[in-house]
Structure 1
Amino acid sequence: MSAETLDIKVRSRTWDGRRIGAIAVVIAALCALPMIAVLLAALTGGTDTLQHLIQTVLGRYTATTLSLVVLVATGTFAVGVGAAWLVTMTRFPGVRFFEIALVLPLAFPAYVLAYAYTHVLDHPGIVQTTLRGLFGWGPRDYWFPEIRSLGGAAAMLVLVLYPYVYLLARAAFLQQSGTTFLAARALGSTAWAAFFKVSLPLARPAIAGGVLLAVMETIADFGTVAYFGVQTFATGIYTSWFSLADRGGAAQLALCLLSFALLLAMLERYQRGDAQYHDGGRRAVAMPPAQLVGLRATGAVVLCGLPVLLGAVLPGVILFSMGLGSEQDLLSPRYLGFIRNSVTLAGVAAVVTVLAAICVGFYQRLRPGRTSRTSGYVARLGYAVPGGVIAVGLMVPFAAFDNALDAWMRATFDVRTGLLITGSIWLLVGAYMVRFLAAALGAYEGGQAMVHANMDAASRSLGQGPLGTLRRVHLPILAPSLLTALLIVFVDVMKELPATLIMRPFNFDTLAVQAYRLASDERLEGAAVPSLVIVAMGLLPVILICRQVGKRR
């Protein structure tokens, strides 16, 4: 090989690496844009708007959001950790079934559960109607828990979010050596005391990570709290943007929510990085499971069965019965349009997000350093930012750009360009990419761990540049992880509501938007039909997760 040919190849490899790095930095900048735009819009919104918010709604939004966070964090911790401990450390009838079935509620968006339980538990629902019929009660003769309340919203969120805690806690309990637990028992501690003094503290980093994930999803939720009339920052942003046409107020509320979300993200990163446990023993001793019989076995079945029953089985049955009694035709041209729009958005967003994850993840491997680490960290921040905040953060700068371009084109060429970017599907896809890039990166990097550094060296010695190594070595090995990432992002986009409501193009409705609109009009039976389709789509990644849970036993 001549020196000139070798020099050309070296320059080509360097150019490929630079291009990948430039793309990764641009992706990270796009992820940071909503946060920067929200900050600038909030600071330029004027103090009058801020003072009005402080005097009217800010205190209520803060108190309600914090109360919801505390309730959901407590509930997901209790249900997730309790279920994980029972299926991991005990044996009772049906334990193999429950260790997989406890993941099923992940397929249900919280707002879908809200529609189902409101249909059954509200004043006109079958439960209260039956009670009034049996006992002859009038409307004011009895008390029944109000489903449309802060407690009701917290219950819906707990039922669909506890699997985050369950999965991480279960993995932590399985990895623990039984030495310390057995030592605590030998020193006279009861099983419960040993659990609280030994097993729970050792699993604390994983449990804290799961609870923080649930809390992030809670502050990002819009559909459940909006339908139940619970006034949080998420509903306030939407109300300020659409109902009041107050862009500055929406940006300032979004900044408050963004600050809280970033604080949670920092806490999650801190506890994950510093609170780690390393077994100092030479070999791990498996934790001996306890055989439960009699009332204890019955109690374990009830405790594990209730989350599955209330979070998956009962809502599915309710939605199916509601759908049968509705007038919604899933095969009508209108509904086929909703399905086509949803699948198009989810499919395009999934492909774009996974490609972005490949660029950012491969750049970190190709050029480890401060720039690549910073790009990866910024790219992950979108998961901690609620969809409503991302929507406001992207709409503000791109709307300003569209308006400036339109004004310049009219003044220069007497041509109106309108909203080229703001009203397009691509800005919405960009919002989805920012929101869910962290999930795709997690799946990609999990598979990338299987690609040994020697494979990269062998590829380079055979004349392959960075792109050739990525295409011929990495991607074939990472195919299962990339498929998982595609499915996860696809289903997350199908369920996403706040960003879709704010940013969707005119007359471009999705299944989530249709379900929300019907539920807002109190047409719950009609809302069950698009909700069932969303749940069916959500089962795809849950089935993959269930298969992994079964393998890791």
Structure 2
Amino acid sequence: MAVFTGVLTLPLLAILVSMGQESVEWNHLAETVLGRYLTNTLVLVLGVSLLVLLMGVLPAWLVTTCEFRGRRILSWALILPLAIPTYIAAFVFYQGPEAAIPLLIQVRQRFGVDAFLLTEQVIRYGLLILMLAAVLYPYVYLACCSAFARQSRAVIEAARCLGDSPTRAFVRAALPMARPGIVAGVALVIMEVINDYGAVHFFGVPTLTEGVFRTWFGMGDKIAALRLAGIMMLVVAVLLALEQGLRGRARYVEADAGGIPLRRVPLAGAKATLAFLLCVVPVALGFLYPVVRLSHWAGLYFLSDAGGSFFPGGAALGRGFGLALVTAVVVTAMAALFIYAVRLRESRLRRFFGRVAGMGYATPGAVIAVGVLVVFGTLDRVAPPFLPLVSGTLFVIGFAYMLRFFAIPLQLSRAGLERIGKPLEEASRLLGHPPLRTFLQVDLPLLRAPLAAAGMLLFVDILKELPLTLILRPANFETLATTAYSLASEARLHACAVPALLIVAVGAVGLLVMNHWLQTSPTSSKHE
């Protein structure tokens, strides 16, 4: 277990070690663009965080505590924007600034060039923030739904008895109790914003992640890129520490802890219409609009002359699916065995190994990619001549995917084992069965649902991953994500829509399967 955890952390340690080496371009970067990278990253983080709170918290409260026409469908539809990768949404939303050209012309004619540039920048940044929030708010929505569903009706009724209106009771009682879930959801959104490359590159907003790409591949300065990656790790570490501080150690009253579950309040008339609109707007922005626009582009492509002779992403479809499927199966199996080993002999050290092994999910893909390049590049240099080179192979990218997404099957496997409990395992051990046989014959059949959900989510995330894949893919190896990005970069938006829709379709199916498992499986009895 210690060896496995150490191997997973090698790329991150390699970045920290390499930061001390001499860099030719670092002083120039620090004096010119580093401040801009940091400022843009923080602006996006703050703007998207505020917007996802508006788009995620209120719909979660409405679908959890109110009854209105369309509520059941919307409770499922509100998670669908997660099926839209940010770089695909960027292809669609980037058409927005073109609609503002008449306004920009008027601003330039009346107020001058400086006002024109400022207005254009505000529109571009604002649209990017709106787009990122529209596809990432489900992280907050799902966390809030779980938190609100576990709250006790007695707490809300006590607030009402003290004279609070429903709105005031929501603000003073429900929101503070849901704070840990809200903070966790926003933290996931922030990680995704920092990790994004395709959308910020498409909108021309340089961030730390794009800085890594520019420095490594544009300027050829590996050490400067590693230092930027180290700064990203520091930013993520500060945010995670802030999240833990905000969540604290407080425990909250829940329905399954002896309280009375919340009862949905029927809404009618104007209130029902308003609730419906508040829930449908995020879905329309984050899912319906991109899908309709992509479908229109794909239809135009297939009606064109090129559509009859060339299927964009055809080769990438098989390669990308194969790589994602094999990696998802292997990583899910390894995560199940890992968490079972932790469970067999629980200790602080083993729990620490479990937390460290899942650390990659909080690390941007570009950071992991450059760390993996350093590790395997070093191995190739010190390996004996008769051994084959490892860098530039599918093994490297598969290892990077495992480091990046190991936390997904790890957490779902842990949750599944906690629901099973230990009585069945103890009975098997009393019958003389060894731990491995107990796991295979007792635990594994009961873990089929969470492991299947973990594998599906892992498959979808690997299929969507862009920054890591762009850096580590072997020569002439394309996935659906890289194909869609390349076609969009060449302004071939109609052709780009075909692989983009395939990614969205697979992601939507995976999310619906996962949501079904979450709603039909028993909830944990503990929540912090």
TM over 0.5: yes
The separation in 1 between residues aligned to 2:5 and 2:192, in whole angstroms, is 22
Q: Secondary structure at the match of 1:284?
A: coil
1:457-501 CA-partner distances (Å, limit 9, x unpaired): 222222321211111111111111111111010000000000100
Q: Secondary structure at the match of 2:16?
A: helix
- Give unpaired runs (5+ residues) of structure 1: 1-23, 410-414
The separation in 2 between residues aligned to 1:516 and 1:353, in whole angstroms, is 26
Residues 356 and 273 of structure 1: is their aligned pair in 2 closer, same or farther, counting only changes over 3 Å? farther
1:157-184 CA-partner distances (Å, limit 9, x unpaired): 1111111111111121111112222222
1:82 aligns with 2:58: yes
Q: Secondary structure at the match of 2:447?
A: helix
| Alignment length (residue pairs) | 511
1:368 aligns with 2:346: yes
Q: Which of the numbers 341, 358, 376 marks the counterpart of 1:380?
A: 358
Q: Which of the numbers 426, 442, 447 marks the counterpart of 1:478?
A: 447
Q: Which of the numbers 36, 49, 62 marks the counterpart of 2:38?
A: 62
The separation in 2 between residues aligned to 1:395 and 1:146, in whole angstroms, is 35
Q: Which of the numbers 23, 29, 34 marks the counterpart of 2:6?
A: 29
1:284-325 CA-partner distances (Å, limit 9, x unpaired): 233343333333222211111111111111111110110111
The separation in 2 between residues aligned to 1:314 and 1:151, in whole angstroms, is 18
1:530 aligns with 2:499: yes
The separation in 1 between residues aligned to 2:48 and 2:201, in whole angstroms, is 17
1:101-140 to 2 correspondence within 5 Å? Answer: 101-119=77-95, 121-123=96-98
The separation in 1 between residues aligned to 2:143 and 2:68, in whole angstroms, is 22
Q: Secondary structure at the match of 2:262?
A: coil
The separation in 1 between residues aligned to 2:254 and 2:275, in whole angstroms, is 29
The separation in 1 between residues aligned to 2:185 and 2:460, in whole angstroms, is 20
The separation in 1 between residues aligned to 2:453 and 2:356, in whole angstroms, is 22
Residues 477 and 273 of structure 1: is their aligned pair in 2 closer, same or farther, counting only changes over 3 Å? farther
Determine the structure 1 residue equivalent to 2:190.
215
1:466 aligns with 2:452: no
Tell me the percent identity. 37
1:309-320 to 2 correspondence within 5 Å? Answer: 309-320=284-295
Q: Which of the numbers 171, 194, 202 marks the counterpart of 2:177?
A: 202
Residues 457 and 246 of structure 1: is their aligned pair in 2 closer, same or farther, counting only changes over 3 Å? same
Cα pair 2:313 2:483 within 8 Å, conserved: no
Residues 281 and 306 of structure 1: is their aligned pair in 2 closer, same or farther, counting only changes over 3 Å? closer
Determine the structure 2 residue equivalent to 1:301.
276
Shift of 1:270: 4.9
- 4+ aligned runs moved over 6 Å, structure 1: 137-148
Shift of 1:545: 3.3
Residues 32 and 281 of structure 1: is their aligned pair in 2 closer, same or farther, counting only changes over 3 Å? closer
Shift of 1:274: 1.2
> Cα RMSD between the aligned structures?
2.7
Q: Secondary structure at the match of 1:463?
A: coil
Determine the structure 2 residue equivalent to 1:3.
none
Residues 290 and 474 of structure 1: is their aligned pair in 2 closer, same or farther, counting only changes over 3 Å? closer
Residues 331 and 53 of structure 1: is their aligned pair in 2 closer, same or farther, counting only changes over 3 Å? same
- Give unpaired runs (5+ residues) of structure 2: 111-115, 524-528
Give the TM-score normalised by structure 1. 0.86
Q: Which of the numbers 351, 357, 360 marks the counterpart of 2:329?
A: 351
Residues 147 and 428 of structure 1: is their aligned pair in 2 closer, same or farther, counting only changes over 3 Å? farther
Residues 333 and 404 of structure 1: is their aligned pair in 2 closer, same or farther, counting only changes over 3 Å? farther
1:335 aligns with 2:313: yes
- Match for 1:343: what amino acid? F
Determine the structure 1 residue equivalent to 2:516.
547
Residues 381 and 281 of structure 1: is their aligned pair in 2 closer, same or farther, counting only changes over 3 Å? closer
The separation in 1 between residues aligned to 2:460 and 2:330, in whole angstroms, is 14
1:403 aligns with 2:381: yes
Shift of 1:454: 2.1
